[in-house]
Structure formats: C-alpha cells, structure tokens
Amino acid sequence: MENVSVRREDGTVDVLERGQGDVALDPQGLEQLYWDEIRRATFGVARFSRGGIRLFGLWPVVLRFGPLVDGRRAIVGGLMARRPGGSIAWRADGEQISVAVERYAPFLRGPLWRLQLSFHCLVGRRFLARVAGEAR
C-alpha cells in the first residue's frame, strides 16, 4: 500500500492511498464500501447520509459532498472544511485500488490535522483491504 499526502501553498491538501488489486468495481460500489468503513471505524457514530458525513446519520454535517460524477464527489462544505473545494475519488480498475482526496481545505491545522489525517489513512487502509477482499 502507498500513502502520499501533500500540503499545498494555499493550505489545501492532497492525500492518495493506493494498493494493488485485481478487482474492478463501479464507483457507486466503491463509494459505498468507503462510507461503510467510516461507519465501522467510528463504531457507527459517523455515517454517510443525505450527501454528507453526519454524526449518527443526522446532524451536524462533518463533511458535505456534491453528487457522484465519474467516481468523484466534490467537497462542498461541513464542519471539517475550512471552505468548499476539492474532491474525493475512488477507483478500482483491475490493477490498482485507490482513494484520493484532492485540494481539500481542512478546518483543522497542526497536530489536530495530523490526527484527522491519521483517521483518513486508517479508513483508507481498511477500504483498500476490503475492496481487495471483494476479488476473493
């Protein structure tokens, strides 16, 4: 598995997690597996509902997303976004599996951002392992 994170001069971040996998899944299936891993990693506290990650599936909106287009959702707001912008994308093309966050403007900074990044990486690793397991 490969994990790369980059902070840009404008304060946005890119995070890429990818691994080898001989499974090909459609974006909707990948997205559902990813949201399920968030729910599982938070013991059900954070859930994807009505276009956003919400506490207990209700309120508040931790991160809000636009519609799924070509395997990607725009990040349009929420408590953990300093401003709208960026996206999250999922891919499993039969050779590689990936989840990529691009140009996300996190609300948290410094050590708190590192904590959020660690959580994202945990979910990403679990997601990659789960998608790879779908091939079996």
Which percentage of the chain shows pLDDT scores above 90? 76
* CA pair distance 47, 91, nearest whole angstrom: 21
Confidence of residue 110 (pLDDT cuts 50, 70, 90): confident
Over range 45-68, report the average pLDDT.
94
Amino acid at 101: V
* CA pair distance 125, 3, nearest whole angstrom: 9
Query: Phi-psi category of 120—alpha, beta or left, where left has phi over 0 and alpha has psi -120 to 50?
Result: alpha
Please tell me the pTM assigned to this model. Answer: 0.91
CATH class of 2-134: alpha beta
pLDDT, one tens digit per residue, over 85-96 is 999 999 999 899
Contact between 88 and 76 (Cβ < 8 Å): no
- Is residue 5's pLDDT more than 80? yes
Domain spans of the chain? 2-134
